[in-house]
Amino acid sequence: MDTDKATEKLAAADAFSEAEKQAVYKAINTRRDVRDQFLPTPLPNDLVEKLLQAAHHAPSVGFMQPWNFILIRDSAQKQKIWEAFERANKEAAGMFDADRQSLYQKLKLEGILKSPLNICITCDRSRGGEVILGRTHNPQMDLYSTVCAVQNLWLAARAEGVGMGWVSIYHDAELKTLLGIPEEIEIIAYLCLGYVDALYEEPELQVKGWRQRLELSDLISEGRWSAGISPDKTTHE
């Protein structure tokens, strides 16, 4: 008898109950990028552990699990990170034309100081050795795997009534210096988390007129690539 086969355990792959399915779809459809609705109440350590376990159970190429999680709670440290964001944000504003600049400057794009917990998620591309199962022909798969961890964390947070926002406006080198991240480690996400008592019914950028959600039918093709929509189709007139 094959001993390896003998030790394998399989679990039933039954569909979820109707209530369970609705809960999954509710988390997906009501997840929001939170920036300004955070409450000051600290997140309990056991809840943070639970959320990180959800992230840690994301799929990863070759089961390499390339992620690390840096937790930032200290207000002075968050202030320095916010200052790095603010410098980059001023640069970003200048990249839009005059009409868009006005709206851009009105948007709240981060909750670094307001959220009680910030998490930086990184990707160690060397974890598991030089040759990774499943990454032999697509070297970006470890980065994609880490993004799956971000999504797992986001959906778990939504289920727990915790808001989360993804901050992407910063210079990598500056954030690495502030957090002591080695040069060879990739920053994947800088996240803000905290309890919220209300969420936008629709994505905030849609509510505030930045862009509209695309029609799914415009994004589906059969068998071959279809050019789809024009780049500016989702912009409000």
Which pLDDT score is estimated for 1? 46
User: Residue-wise pLDDT tens for the chain (237 aa)?
Assistant: 455 666 788 999 999 999 999 999 999 999 999 999 999 999 999 999 999 999 999 999 999 999 999 999 999 999 999 999 999 999 999 999 988 998 999 999 999 999 999 999 999 999 999 999 999 999 999 999 999 999 999 999 999 999 999 999 999 999 999 999 999 999 999 999 999 989 999 999 999 999 999 999 999 999 999 886 665 555 543
CA distances from 100 to 92, 105, 140, 235 (A): 11, 9, 32, 10
Is pTM, for the whole model, over 0.85? yes
**For 72-80, which contacts have Cβ atoms below 8 Å and span 24 or more sequence positions?**
72/117, 72/118, 72/119, 72/120, 72/179, 73/42, 73/116, 73/117, 73/118, 75/113, 77/178, 78/112, 78/113, 78/118, 79/113, 80/178
Return d(Cα 207, Cα 108) in angstroms, integer. Answer: 13
Residue 101, SS3 per DSSP: helix
Cα gap 145→123, rounded to integer Å: 9
Backbone phi and psi for residue 166, each to the nearest 5 degrees, phi listed first: -105, 115
Spell out the domains of the chain, with CATH numbers in brackets: 32-200 (3.40.109.10)
For 166, what's the count of Cα atoms within 13 Å in the CB-facing half-sphere? 15
pLDDT at 229: 65
Q: How far apart are CA 41 and CA 38, in angstroms?
A: 9
